[in-house]
Amino acid sequence: MAVGVFDSGLGGLTVLDAVTKRLPEVPFVYFADSAHAPYGVRDADDVFDLTCTATQRLFDAGCDLVILACNTASAAALRRMQESWVPHDKRVLGVFVPLIEALTERHWGDNSPPREVAVQHVALFATPATVRSRAFQRELAFRAIGVDVEAQACGGLVDAIEEGDMILAEALVRSHVDALKRKMPDPEAAILGCTHYPLMEEIFQDALGPEVSVYSQASLVAESLADYLDRHPQMRGPGSEAGFLTTGNPKKVSDHATHFLRRKITFEGA
C-alpha cells in the first residue's frame, strides 16, 4: 500500500510531513534526486528525463501512485509523462491541482466553463523553470476567467534552503517579494509555487503584508491525496516499507533532511 513522493531535493519533505500526518496508516517512500538538484534551472527535456528515472525507481519500490512533490517537475514534465510514459496501471499526480482547487473553489472534476472567482490579482513565486512553463497559468485558465497572475522567478532560494542558509534565504525572499510588488503592487493572494517555500512562509507573509492570503501546498496536497485514495483505493501500491532514497550523498542528505524537518531522517542510496 506504499505511495511514492518525489522531489529534486528536500523541499518535498514539507509535503511528506503533511501526508504522513494525514494518512498515518500509509507507508511513503520518498525519493530525493539530490545529485541533480535543483531542477529549476534545467530545461524541460532534462527535467522530463530525470523525473521519469526517479518515478520508475519508486514504481520499482512498490509504489503504484507517485506524487511529484516538485513544482518544476509538475510544471515541465507531468503532462508529457501522463500522455506518453506512465504505464496504464500506475498513476503520477502533481501538486498544482490542489492549489488551483483552493484558489478557484471548484473540484478538479468540475468541467463546467471557466468562471469568475473571488481573487483577481495573484502573485506566483516559483523556480525559473516553473515560471517559464506557464503551467500554473494554463491550468488556472481552464477554470477561472479574469485572474491576473504575476509570476516572480525566485532564483537562488532553493539552493539557500537546501544548504540551510536561512539568513540568505530570508534576504532572497524579501528581495523577490519587492521585485514582484514593483510589477503588482497590491496582490490579493500569493502562491508559494515550490515545495521548499513553505519553510519560508512566515517571511513571505511578513514581506507581503497581512492583507495578502498566502497559499502553501503541503496541507492542500495532503487533503487531496486522502480524497484520491478514498476514491481510488486500488492505487495503494504493493509496497509495505516506508523509506528515504537519494541519488546524492546519503549522509549529507540525511543531515540536511534532519535539520529540515527537525527529526531524525536517514536516507539510503537509490
- Tell which of 180, 197, 215 closes a domain: 215
Cα separation, 71 vs 215, whole angstroms: 14
**Are 209 and 112 members of one domain?**
yes
- Kindly report, residue by residue over 153-197, the tens digit of the pLDDT: 999 999 898 888 999 999 999 999 999 999 999 999 999 999 889
- Tell which of 215, 238, 260 closes a domain: 215
State the cell numbers at 7: 522531489
Q: Which of 34, 45, 103 is nearest to 73 (CA)?
A: 45
**Average pLDDT, stretch 98-105?**
85
**Are 200 and 101 members of one domain?**
yes
Q: Which of 241, 213, 197, 210 is nearest to 26 (CA)?
A: 241
How much is the pLDDT for 105? 82
- Kindly report, residue by residue over 11-20, the tens digit of the pLDDT: 999 999 999 9
Question: Could you give the percent of the chain with pLDDT greater than 90?
Answer: 73
**Average pLDDT, stretch 41-65?**
96
**Average pLDDT, stretch 205-233?**
92
- Tell which of 215, 233, 255 closes a domain: 215
How much is the pLDDT for 259? 84
pLDDT, averaged across the chain = 93
Enumerate residues 6+ apart whose C-beta is below 8 A from 177: 125, 152, 204, 207, 208
Which positions are catalytic? 70, 194
Q: State pTM to two decimals.
A: 0.87
**Average pLDDT, stretch 22-50?**
95
CATH number of the domain where residue 123 is located: 3.40.50.1860
Residue 108 above 70 pLDDT? no
How much is the pLDDT for 190? 96
Residue 107 above 90 pLDDT? no
Domain of residue 76 covers 3-95+218-269
DSSP label at residue 11: T
Residue 234 above 80 pLDDT? yes
How many domains is the chain built from?
Answer: 2
Question: Could you give the percent of the chain with pLDDT greater than 70?
Answer: 99
pLDDT-derived band at 109 (thresholds 50, 70, 90) equals: low
